């Protein structure tokens, strides 16, 4: 059985442009180092430059780690990264109530957006697991 491509190198490199803020590391399921990158500007840009060469391996690891299914990781991450304070990514996941709460509270005062950067891959992976009858 062939492994599905849950994450995209192209999206990883797009987020790497903002990588000194950790966006690509969160995308590939590395929230601890993503947070470190966020607070240190990508380890003073040195780690950010090194990550340019590490993205292919981070992509392979994410493809193995997260479940493929009807929800698309790439779309969800683009929605979170660029429209997270409006809750659009939560609405995409079918979480309409919290999506609307994010819409009127600026991503629950941005704390909810940070939470979603830490947990979005897991939220998608959980929803992509086929439900047993």
Mean pLDDT of residues grouped by 10 in the chain (133 residues)? 83 89 95 95 93 97 95 96 96 98 95 96 93 60
pTM of the full predicted structure? Answer: 0.91
Largest CA distance in the chain: 51
The pLDDT score that the predictor gives to residue 130 is: 78
The pLDDT score that the predictor gives to residue 132 is: 58
State the Rg of the chain over Cα: 15
């Amino acid at each position: 059985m062939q492994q599905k491509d849950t994450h995209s190198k192209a999206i990883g490199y797009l987020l790497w442009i903002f990588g000194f803020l950790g966006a690509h590391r969160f995308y590939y399921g590395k929230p601890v180092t993503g947070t470190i990158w966020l607070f240190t500007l990508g380890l003073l840009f040195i780690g950010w430059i090194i990550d340019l060469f590490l993205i292919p391996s981070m992509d392979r690891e994410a493809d193995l780690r997260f479940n493929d299914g009807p929800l698309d990781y790439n779309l969800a991450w683009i929605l979170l990264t660029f429209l997270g304070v409006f809750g659009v990514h939560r609405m995409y996941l079918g979480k309409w109530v919290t999506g609307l709460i994010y819409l009127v509270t600026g991503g629950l005062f941005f704390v909810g957006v940070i939470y979603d950067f830490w947990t979005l891959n897991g939220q998608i992976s959980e929803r992509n697991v086929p439900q047993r009858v």
